[in-house]
Amino acid sequence: MATTAGTDTQPQPTFTAAQVAEHNTRANDWVIIHGQIYDVTKYIHDHPGGIEVLVEAAGQDATEAFENAGHSDDALEIMADFLVGNLEGYQKPAPKRVIHLAVPAETVAAPLPPSRSPSDSSTTAAALAIGSLATLSAAAVYYASNTHPSLSGPASKVTKQVLSHLPQTVNGFPAGFLAASALSAGVSLLAAKQLSTFTQIDHGFDRFPMHKPSTKEPPLAVPAPSTITWLNPREFQSLPLIRKEEVAPSVFRLVFALPTKDAVLGLPTGQHVAIRAVVDDKPVMRSYTPISNDSDKGVLEFIIRCYPDGLLTGRYISTLKAGVDSVHFRGPKGLMRYQRGLAKQIGMIAGGTGITPMYQVIRAICEDPNDETRISLVYANRSDRDILLRKEIEGFASRFPKKLKVWYMLDKEPQGGRKWEYGVGHINKDTLEKRMPKAGGGKENKVFLCGPPGMVNAAKAMLGELGWATPGASAKMEDQVFVF
């Protein structure tokens, strides 16, 4: 083992890859990230991505998994406390080359002239015809009034009034033609304007009323994309806490006010944000998925469970007071960016507060009238009183029965005579086989997983037995089974 200069000018020891590989257990967990070696044993329980991700990477180079998970610069700041040394012989990879392809000027298409509707063309043609006719008519009126005064009338008077503004050298037929042209221009404009009201043709289905009223329930309105998005992926920004409510034992609903009532968060569906705080003079950062989306203008809302021994939740979030405290956020973060058409069927397996990313996707699908994705949700909790967002989830299931099916699992059946018509016990293979989409559907079917590490690992194993491709330590969008 050798030593090398560290970033704080203190000498850092170096280790070989073989030496790092010896630290490959939950109780002795070292990982390599960008040539630096971290002892993450004490960080396992605080890791936002779960315990098993770090355990699977123990004793190995986790650089690729670290990058794929979308960690921010703050993650490296947090990891600095766990740095134990550098990897012997590590060479920083060369930066990737970016090639810019020049587009020849002659290949750039010239902009097309603005198109006109058929009614525009017909109106223009009619105006030209009327103008030509008016010109000839006005010339004839002028000539007749000069040769036969008895035929003088309003038209000839108008024509002569126009002539009064012409030079005296212009007379005879040229004068008559000029006056006729001026008169015809005004007549043409008036005639074209009136004619357009008769020739205007409504396009599409708006022209005809519906002959049969729709029997479908009107879809929920999907707001147009807003230009006032608040999130910043590089800088932390603070928001005031305006409401805090305990919705289950040690679980809080937290609502923060965005800067304006029309502002939206700007978070892609399925992604999360980072919360940063200083606890015991040390920066602490964790990631959470909001339950609000861009339909909820002016607010940012979370459901967060606070653990008594949790550094951020127990020592910070649980102590926040509405109307007094503000919290720092940054994002978006994460690898999931749900879009319509990602899959035809999505199975969801959630436990506890792991429902939050699932709820975000459920909202997106149910609130989009053009999204026909079908969802099967299996949601596990200790008791029925621990079921989070139950009213909202069942509301979607009731309004959109073809889109969302829900099945709850409880550790024990409710006491006190409360009726229970769902599952009891841990999620098992039979439950998944019955409630989840069939495996082998290629990209048509997917399963989303989020919850306690024990439940997630057990579910991954059972899904593998049912034919699903087992995901790796780092989630990818193309995975059949995606772990939040």
Name the nearest CA neighbour of 33 among 85, 100, 74.
85
251 pairs with which residues across the strands?
248, 305
Residue 120: other Cβ atoms inside 10 A: 13
Task: Write out the catalytic residue numbers.
Answer: 272, 288-289, 450
68 burial type by CB count under 10 A (0-12 exposed, 13-18 middle, 19+ buried): middle
CA angle at 447 for the pair 70 and 430, rounded to the nearest 5°: 140
Question: Could you give the dihedral angle defined by the CA atoms of residues 313, 318, 324 and 325, in that order, rounded to the nearest 10 degrees?
Answer: 0
For strand 374-381 and strand 282-288, is the pairing parallel, antiparallel, or unpaired? unpaired
Task: Give the H/E segment covering residue 410.
Answer: strand 404-410
DSSP letter at 273 equals: E
Residue with tokens 């503000």: 326
Considering just the CA atoms, what is the radius of gyration of the chain in Å?
Answer: 36
| Exposure on the CB side of residue 174, measured as CA atoms within 13 A | 6
The strands making up 272-279's β-sheet, listed across from edge to edge, are: 282-288, 272-279, 326-333, 237-248, 251-257, 299-305
Residue with tokens 């000069």: 146
Q: Are 330 and 232 in contact (CB under 8 A)?
A: yes
Alpha carbon distance 373, 375 (integer Å)? 7
